[in-house]
Amino acid sequence: MKNFYLAILSFLLFNNCSFNTNSKFWTDDNIKKKEFEKKLLEINAKSKNIISLSFDEFKIYVEEYVKKEKYPDISKWLKK
């Protein structure tokens, strides 16, 4: 009977655990994401004068710009 109660207790404990990394309970990714968004806001404020951006800031600015814009996929043309 003891084993039965132990099994039910362990089932209830492990049933509530979340190993999903997209879960809001995993705060490391959320903290990094918030820091990145804060840095991105600063970069966007400075982006009016691109010369004032450092190389790393410019790289982040270009990567985020490419994510937002729709560009054609030329890889299918390169395979021909």
pLDDT score at 47: 80
What is the model's pTM? 0.48
pLDDT score at 27: 60
pLDDT score at 18: 59
Given a cut of 50, the residues of the chain with pLDDT beneath it are none
Report the C-alpha gap between 13 and 6 in whole angstroms.
11
pLDDT score at 20: 62
pLDDT score at 24: 59
Q: Is the dihedral of CA 64, 66, 70, 73 positive or negative?
A: negative
pLDDT score at 28: 63
